[in-house]
Chains A and B, each alone.
Chain A
Amino acid sequence: MKLITAIIQPDRLDHVREALIQADITRITVSRVTGHGRQEDIELYRGQQIAPNLIPKIRLDIAVNDEFVDLTVDTIINSANHGLGEIGDGKIFITPLEECIRIRTKERGGKAI
């Protein structure tokens, strides 16, 4: 089991979600987060351009069984990409997942995902 954590741009959330659903990956957690990589965002404040040091991003958390890792990752890469070659499209982290428990049935492991 792996935990896939993807940080994407807010305007690609709908695209990613639709693509994941198409690929039959329907169990996801979405949160609004702020942070920054190498990208800078220019905003206007009473005529002055300011570069805030934190930028809104969307974080997806998806727990998957090992055989679904590649499919999930590929789907996110294809749908989260703006295709412009500019920085800021986001990152994907994959971490090993020790245990997964469904609260209702107390099932454990891969079948609980």
Chain B
Amino acid sequence: MKKKLLTTLLFLLAATLLQGTAHAADEVVTDTGTTSWMLTSTALVLLMIPGLAMFYGGLVRTKNVLGTMMHSFGAMVIIGVLWPMVGYSLSFGPGILGGFVGWDDNYFMLQGIDETIMSTNIPEYVFAMFQGKFAIITPALIAGAFAERVNFKGYAVFIALWSLLVYSPICHWVWAADGFLFNLGAAGAIDFAGGTVVHISSGVTALVAALYLGKRRAYPNNVMSPNNLVMTLIGAGLLWVGWFGFNAGSAIASNLATARALTVTQVAAASGAFAWMIIEIFHHGKATSLGVASGILAGLVAITPAAGVVQPSGALALGALAAVICYGAIMLKSKLGYDDSLDAFGVHGVGGIVGALALVFFIRPAWMADAAAKTIDKSWTMWDQLGVQATAVGVTIGYAAVVSLVLLFLVEKTIGLRISEDEEMSGLDHSMHGEQGYGLINLN
């Protein structure tokens, strides 16, 4: 059996090599400039994961700091293993099962891309690793919703299944060249860097998970103060820095499109933080550091789908709009009483939806003209595009919510997701990992 598998693998490898030789005549060459920027972007996006670990880790109580940071690092480890194995193939292979997911035997263990230079003039390894970082951060974002009360083993299994059954299909629909949302309407659903794929899918799953797992003990009656807002702010800073790779890298180029994405990313982040700060000053009389950090994130999330199509004025508007709506969503959460502990839905879900829908009002005219030129009757309005965007958002919300609920149910019934009250009260650090974040004296 093992021998047979080996033979198959060798055969596949040989086939790829032959294929490579056959195309040698019209071979694309590596563009060192683009490749350098994409390598940098890949590293920047990876930096967002420790950034997220610090952002979330600082927001929980002292006894849960390591457990919460381990949710991000756990994703880095688990998806880091799954992605080269099957994730890349499921997401970016040619569509199978009627386009439900992708699959290409050649991509298993990335063995078929050893010599591939893509038409974007970068080695396919760089693209595969760049995309892998998105696959890592997406499930890590979900963890904010059920912080402080989730079993680590259950979480590990949940994100592994979620990555294969929710992330990869949605990624395939939106970003693969033959994905149905990629080809919807005149010029496809606009999702430049992951508004639907990353933020809406994880945000909606976060909401479902928060509702399914229930509240933490004594929420919202007892105060649950963040253990270290200093760390949260550093995390928010790292996320902002990393987001330049996330958005400006998503052009898979090093040119005008990259510069545009970088500029609007910067503008939207600042605008989101500024709007949040102003709202707080009027609402509470004081600007909080957590408010600024949340505003940065809201702005960055909203510009993610839009970074390829809007201009700086649009970025300014989207960032501010996202801050206003996310702020409202978090107010509403307190009224409704569900326990999305670190506002994974309130910021990523809501911000992602705002960005993916509202971007249509700020698309640069040149893009609209291109889209119109692709239609038969040469007309394409922002309302047409809004329909396309709403379809992409609706499909993502519906699919992520339903499949996540099934996965949550399965994991809860087999391995267990919600920890016992005693484990919750002694904290994830001790009960799940047998460690403490800050030494003995600081346990709360």
A residues engaging B (CB < 8 A)? 9-15, 18, 32-34, 42-45, 52, 54-56, 82
Contacts and interface: CB of A to CB of B under 8 A. Distances in A.
A11 to B, nearest CB: 4
B434 A42 contact: yes
B425 A55 contact: no
- What's the dominant secondary structure at chain B's contact region? loop
Interface stretch (B7-15, B139-147, B236-244, B435-443): B435-443
B444 A10 contact: yes
Contact of B425 (A11, A43, A44): A11
B325 to A, nearest CB: 34
A55 B440 contact: yes
A14 B218 contact: yes
B286 interface: no
A12 B425 contact: yes
Given A9-B426, A14-B222, A34-B441, 19 more contacts: A10-B63, A10-B426, A10-B427, A10-B443, A12-B425, A13-B444, A14-B425, A15-B425, A32-B441, A32-B443, A33-B441, A43-B434, A43-B435, A44-B433, A44-B435, A45-B435, A55-B440, A56-B436, A82-B422
Interface string B205-217: 0000000000001
A67 B132 CA distance: 66
A33 B444 CA distance: 10
- Those 10 A-B pairs whose CB atoms lie nearest each other, nearest first: A11-B425, A11-B426, A56-B443, A44-B434, A34-B440, A56-B440, A10-B443, A43-B434, A32-B441, A54-B440
B426 A14 contact: no
Contacts, number: 41
Given A54-B440, A56-B441, A11 B427 contact: yes
A32 B433 CA distance: 21
Interface size class of B (residues with CB under 8 A): 10 to 19
Contacts of B435: 43-45
Report which residue of B427, B433, B434 has the largest number of chain A beta carbons within 10 angstroms of its beta carbon: B434
A34 B436 CA distance: 13
Nearest to A42: B434
Contacts of A42: 434
Interface in B216-261: 217-218, 222
Report which residue of B427, B433, B440 has the largest number of chain A beta carbons within 10 angstroms of its beta carbon: B440
Contacts of A12: 425
A32 B434 contact: no
A54 B433 CA distance: 18
Nearest to B433: A44
Interface string B133-172: 0000000000000000000000000000000000000000
Report which residue of A10, A33, A34, A44 has the largest number of chain B beta carbons within 10 angstroms of its beta carbon: A10
A22 to B, nearest CB: 13
Report which residue of A34, A43, A54, A56 has the largest number of chain B beta carbons within 10 angstroms of its beta carbon: A56
Given A44-B433, A44-B434, A32 B218 contact: no
Interface string B397-431: 00000000000000000000000001001110000
A56 B442 CA distance: 8
Contacts of B444: 10, 13, 32
Contacts of A56: 436, 440-441, 443
5 contacts: A10-B443, A14-B222, A42-B434, A44-B434, A44-B435
